[in-house]
Structures are given as structure tokens and as C-alpha cells.
Amino acid sequence: MPSLRVEALQMSDKVKRCKDRFKGVKELPTLASYGILSASESSHEREVCPVCRGDYKRCRLEICPYLRGVRELLREIRSSRTVFGSSPPSALIGSWGYPKVLAGPLVPPIQADTSLFDQPARWLEIPLNDLLAMRVSLIRGKRPTKVVDARRPDRVLEVMQEIAMAERPLDVELELEKEPLISPSFHVRASPTGPSAPMRKALIAENPSVPKPVERIVSDFDLKASEAVYELYRSGLSDQYIVRLLSIGLLGQKRWRKLVPTEWSITAVDDQLGRRLRSEARQNPWINEVRIYTGYKHFNRITVLLLPGPWMFEVFEVWHKAAGLKLYHDSELPGDVDRYPENVGGAYHALRLPILEHLSRERRQASAIVVAEIYEGWIPLGVWRFREICRAALASPPQRFDDLNEALQALRRLIDLPIEVIFRQSRVLRFHLEQTRLPNFIEIL
């Protein structure tokens, strides 16, 4: 059998024709499209608190292990209706009622370095229970706000925007209309938050520190939001920071700026950065070997198979439950028209971005198949874990193969999803088999 290096040079003209077809593909998703729930998000990912199982009438400070650390502080807030603490900084824009949403800052009732509270890149090494306890200690002040108010913000919204621009924690005081309602919120893509209450006003007790690239781009009212996102990313800012700025309505041309629900912003940033890096990757030469990367954390395993060839991407999202496994699948191939991944949803873009980042650093392109497996024990904390586990996996040394059969045999041993499922359903694998014509591949089944 010829080596993969030789096969890569001998691929048929079909690949070249498919690459040319990309030139006519429109890449203009609407903002609302990022709010669509996929099949996976509608069933498995919209999970509830593992203690009270969503019956928040039974949620009590005395019994909740995640609120235990802030129990006394929350009692003080109930009596004073004032929260004073160090915002990570962070804010949450809801989606219910869009285009009039509930917006407000997130403030824990403590004064300390709380930057960890809103930095998913550092969460992989934190035990799940501690991570959830940290997130539900964030008090959410909320205020009905029209999304278009971002263009002409009142003083309360201005304060929220100043908080979002800060690069370090800053002291914030929230004056609440009522005592906080203890109903921790679990979201499909965003991380959970703690008790919430209507907010009268918010005050910043210190001057926020804002990076110069942020000041420049936020004050540029002619720069499109997609360009702003990419410039901030190239300036070295974290995707979480960019999500915050987009969500609070600080990016884009002046007449189009608006508040964007946080969950939508997460997927929008992942998608827009992915599109830009994908366009760059398509100009690069292919990798010359098959690689497998794998990573496991927080009851999630991410396994990445990279193949020499034009850019393609495919995700198998597998939920391992006591009753059996549930599978969701989306893909993109040369010639496909861009569409929202209706089965996998936000996880699709969260997994695609790290792979494109990795290929960008190598100045290469490849075809990628990702198997994302979620096991019993996972607590719903958002899609960040897909992104960060995938990044960690790609930062580790891969298994390398010159032979596709050997790689697939190794993949069989690494995942709990039967390899036969991938063989039957994978569009990327089928594409490569048609090009390389490996009839003996069937021997692995």
C-alpha cells in the first residue's frame, strides 16, 4: 500500500474542484441564528442542578453544597439588598424576551482576586464541585433593557459596559430592588450563575484598567463587529474577554451595535474566529500524516483525528447515559453551503476553533473528525469545556501514523463509541475513502 504522503499527492481532481466551490459560499449568518438550540442542546445539555433537579422551590441555603461557602454572605445581602464585591469582571445578558432582555453585572459578595471566576481557560484543573460553587456565588443584578439601547446607553448600562471593558477584577456595588432569589441558572452554552434580583443601580468603586487595543476598537464606530472580534483576538485577548465585549454591545458599527445574549455571543465568537482561521487554513499545504490527539477532563473525553487533505470538519457528540448512548452528528465538507449545525449546536463551533488555531500555528490544513464523549458525572457548566479540553489535547504529543487503517485501529481503542458508527456515518471518512480507494479498510470491522 502506498504511504499517505504519496496518496496525498495523488488525490483526484475532485478535491481541487471542491476547493474551488468554496469561493461562492456565502458566510453571513444572522445574529438570531446563534440563538437556535440544536438537537443536543434541547435534550441533554439543558440539564438542571444535580441537587434539586430543577425544582428550585426546594432550593435552600441549608441543603445546597454549592452555596455553602457563601451562605452567611447571602444572608447579609438579603437583609441589606446591597451587594459589594469584586466583579471578575463579568456580566450576563439573557435571551428571554429578546429584543428586550434582562441584563446586568455578576458580582460575588467578596472582595478578592476573583479573576478565576470568569476564566474558562483555567478551569480544567478545578474540581467540578468547587467550580460550580464558585460560579453560583456570583450574584446577578438584572434590569430589563432593549438591545438597541447599547447605541445610546443610560448611566446604568454605561456602568455595565465599563465593567465589561475592564481587564482585571474591580469593586462594584449593586443596589437591588428585592432580596436575591436563590435559583441558580444553568445555561446551554454559558456557565451557571447564582442568585439574582432586579437591580436599581450599579456603581463602580474604582477606575477600571482597560487595554489599549480594547479602547481603540470599542471607540471605532466604523469597524464591523466581525473585524473587531478578529482584531481583538489577534491582539492576544481571550475569547471570553471578546464574548463579554460583544455581549454588552461594544463592538461593531455605531448604528448596528446592540446587546447580544451571552449564550449567542459565545457561539458567535467561536464561529466568527473559526471562519476567519478556516479561510486562512485553506491556503496552506496539507499535513503529511494521520494524527490522533486525545484529552479527558471533567467526565468529558475529546478525541481528534486529523487526516491529510483539504479542510473538512466533523463532530460526533456522544452522551453516555445509564439507559444507553445518544449520538449527535454534524459536518462540513468542500462544496457544502454554510449552515447552523442543527444537531450539535454551540459545541460544534467550540470544538472547531481549537483545531483551526492548531493548524494556523503549523501553517497547515487537514481534515478533522472529532469524537466528543460525555459521561455520567458531568455537571452542566457550558460549552467552554469542549474548547478547553480540545486545546489541551492538541497541546500534547499526538499518535502519528502513515497508514489510515492503523490510525483507525488505534481510534477504536481510544473511544467508547463503536468505530462501526463512525464508519457508517462519517462523511469525512467516506470522502477520503473515495479518494484513496482503500478497499481493505473494511477489514477493521
Residues 423-427, mean pLDDT to the nearest whole number: 96
Residues 414-427, mean pLDDT to the nearest whole number: 96
Which of the pair, 68 or 293, is modelled with greater confidence?
293
Which amino acid is it at 208? P
Nearest to residue 180, comparing CAs of 110, 108, 132, 252? 108
pLDDT at position 324, please?
Answer: 87
Omega into 29 within 30° of 0, i.e. cis? no
Last residue of one domain, picked from the residues 204, 236, 260: 204
| Alpha-carbon span 70 to 78, nearest angstrom | 12
Which of the pair, 72 or 14, is modelled with greater confidence?
72
Domain presence at residue 46: no
| Alpha-carbon span 374 to 168, nearest angstrom | 33
Domain presence at residue 369: yes
pLDDT at position 129, please?
Answer: 81
pLDDT at position 435, please?
Answer: 75
Q: Which residues contact 368 (CB under 8 A, 6 or more apart)?
A: 304, 305, 306, 307, 312, 313, 314, 352, 355, 428
Q: Is the pLDDT of residue 438 over 60?
A: no
| Alpha-carbon span 59 to 55, nearest angstrom | 7
Q: Do 290 and 431 sit in the same domain of this protein? A: yes
pLDDT at position 33, please?
Answer: 74
Among 51-55, 187-191, 298-302, the range scoring the smallest mean pLDDT is 51-55
Last residue of one domain, picked from the residues 279, 294, 321: 279
Residues 170-189, mean pLDDT to the nearest whole number: 82
For the segment 137-154, what is each residue's pLDDT rounded down to a tens digit?
899 999 999 999 999 999
Residues 3-13, mean pLDDT to the nearest whole number: 46
Number of domains forming the structure of the chain: 3
Q: Do 303 and 356 sit in the same domain of this protein? A: yes
pLDDT at position 32, please?
Answer: 67
For the segment 107-140, what is each residue's pLDDT rounded down to a tens digit?
998 999 999 999 999 999 999 888 888 888 899 9
Domain presence at residue 41: no
pLDDT at position 67, please?
Answer: 64
Nearest to residue 427, comparing CAs of 355, 347, 333? 333
Q: Is the pLDDT of residue 402 over 90?
A: yes
Q: Which residues contact 79 (CB under 8 A, 6 or more apart)?
A: 179
Q: Do 169 and 258 sit in the same domain of this protein? A: no
- Start-to-end CA span in the chain (Å): 19
Which amino acid is it at 41? E
| Alpha-carbon span 257 to 244, nearest angstrom | 14
DSSP SS3 for 8 = helix
Q: Do 177 and 257 sit in the same domain of this protein? A: no
pLDDT at position 384, please?
Answer: 96
Q: How confident is the model at residue 411 (pLDDT cuts 50, 70, 90)?
A: very high
Q: Is the pLDDT of residue 353 over 80?
A: yes
> Among the residues of 235-309, which ranges form H helices?
239-247, 262-281
Q: Do 140 and 27 sit in the same domain of this protein? A: no
> Among the residues of 141-181, which ranges form H helices?
155-165
Q: Do 297 and 344 sit in the same domain of this protein? A: yes
Domain presence at residue 51: no
Are 57 and 144 a contacting pair, CB within 8 Å? Answer: no
Q: How confident is the model at residue 46 (pLDDT cuts 50, 70, 90)?
A: very low
Q: Do 158 and 100 sit in the same domain of this protein? A: yes
Cell numbers found for residue 399: 499518535
Domain presence at residue 42: no
CA 248, 253, 257 angle in degrees (round to 5)? 30
Residues 222-248, mean pLDDT to the nearest whole number: 98
Q: How confident is the model at residue 188 (pLDDT cuts 50, 70, 90)?
A: low
> Among the residues of 38-192, which ranges form H helices?
39-40, 71-80, 128-135, 155-165
Domain presence at residue 196: yes
CA 433 to mean position of chain CA atoms: 31
Which amino acid is it at 84? F
Q: Do 260 and 187 sit in the same domain of this protein? A: no
Which of the pair, 135 or 245, is modelled with greater confidence?
245
Q: Which residues contact 204 (CB under 8 A, 6 or more apart)?
A: 159, 162, 163, 170, 171, 172
Residues 165-171, mean pLDDT to the nearest whole number: 98
Helix (H) or strand (E) holding 368: strand 367-374
Residues 27-45, mean pLDDT to the nearest whole number: 65
Percent of the chain's residues with pLDDT above 70: 80
Domain limits for position 200:
59-204
| Alpha-carbon span 74 to 114, nearest angstrom | 17
| Alpha-carbon span 117 to 125, nearest angstrom | 13
Q: Do 192 and 290 sit in the same domain of this protein? A: no
Domain presence at residue 40: no
| Alpha-carbon span 219 to 216, nearest angstrom | 5
Q: Is the pLDDT of residue 195 over 90?
A: no
**pTM of the predicted structure, to 2 decimals:** 0.87
pLDDT at position 81, please?
Answer: 86
Are 139 and 249 a contacting pair, CB within 8 Å? Answer: no
pLDDT at position 34, please?
Answer: 79
Q: Do 154 and 257 sit in the same domain of this protein? A: no
| Alpha-carbon span 122 to 126, nearest angstrom | 8
Q: Is the pLDDT of residue 237 over 80?
A: yes
For 330-360, b where at least 16 C-beta lie within 10 A, e where not — what string? bbbbbeeeeebbebbbbbbbbbbbbbbbbbb
| Alpha-carbon span 18 to 311, nearest angstrom | 10
pLDDT at position 36, please?
Answer: 73
Q: Do 81 and 168 sit in the same domain of this protein? A: yes
| Alpha-carbon span 356 to 276, nearest angstrom | 9
Domain presence at residue 313: yes
Q: How confident is the model at residue 199 (pLDDT cuts 50, 70, 90)?
A: very high
Residues 390-396, mean pLDDT to the nearest whole number: 99
pLDDT at position 49, please?
Answer: 60
pLDDT at position 301, please?
Answer: 98
Q: Is the pLDDT of residue 5 over 60?
A: no
Q: How confident is the model at residue 92 (pLDDT cuts 50, 70, 90)?
A: very high
Percent of the chain's residues with pLDDT above 90: 67
Q: Do 295 and 438 sit in the same domain of this protein? A: yes
For the segment 291-345, what is each residue's pLDDT rounded down to a tens digit?
999 999 999 999 999 999 999 999 999 999 888 899 999 999 998 988 889 999 9
Last residue of one domain, picked from the residues 151, 186, 204: 204
